[in-house]
Amino acid sequence: MIDLKSAVSETADFPETGILFRDLSPLLRHHFAQTLDALDALLSQDQWQLIDAVAGLDARGFVLGAALAARRRLGFVPIRKAGKLPPPVHQLSYKLEYGTATLEMHQGRGRVVLVDDVYATGGTLMAGAELCRQSGYDLQALLVLADLRLQGRPAHIAGLPVRSVFHYG
């Protein structure tokens, strides 16, 4: 088995001084299929049987979520940055580490798994989970590639643990 975490590169002081940026691009470039295998394995076959669609957060959650949905022969639900989906949409604004952002999603229903690339402070995942709920979806699981385990992040989001392929800290 490939050590996926070792394929992540690090850049100090990016995007600002004091931040260690972990770049997933080399991992996705060289080990994409294995990365999807690892994300898929975060849920049991029985759990996957209960899922109707995979929701992915803009932008890398799209890449991972859409590929995972295709692999599982499930639908894909995009959660986009503001202004990228035609109306009507549900919208939610939230705080980021470096400012604020707004996410949008179309109304729907069914049981979904929410996918993103990184779990840092939890802001984006919390917003995505709440937006799924507001839009009519029944959130079943939260999957991320990397958990940065930053101080102060919630242990659970929407009552669910955040499942990760690997973590730091």
Name the DSSP letter for residue 85. S
CATH number, span 32-167: 3.40.50.2020
Write the burial class of residue 13 (CB in 10 Å: 0-12 exposed, 13-18 middle, 19+ buried).
exposed
Which among 22, 60, 133, 153 is annotated as catalytic? 60
Please tell me the distance from the alpha carbon of residue 57 to that of residue 116, in angstroms, as a whole number: 6
130 is catalytic: no
> Rg of the Cα trace of the chain?
15
Please tell me the distance from the alpha carbon of residue 23 to that of residue 166, in angstroms, as a whole number: 14
DSSP string covering 39-62, please?
A: HHTTS-HHHHTT--EEEEETTHHH
Q: Which two tokens stand for residue 138?
A: 């029944």
Q: Domain ranges for the chain, please list them.
A: 32-167
pTM of the model: 0.95
60 is catalytic: yes
- Residues 6 or more apart whose Cβ sits within 8 Å of residue 39: 64, 68, 115, 143, 145, 165
Segment 17-52, tens digit of pLDDT: 998 999 999 999 999 999 999 999 999 999 999 999
Mapping DSSP to helix (H, G, I), strand (E, B) and coil, where does residue 34 land?
helix
Segment 67-119, tens digit of pLDDT: 999 999 999 999 999 999 999 999 999 987 778 999 999 999 999 999 999 99
Which among 22, 71, 97, 111 is annotated as catalytic? 97
Secondary structure tally for the chain: helices H, strands E: 4, 10
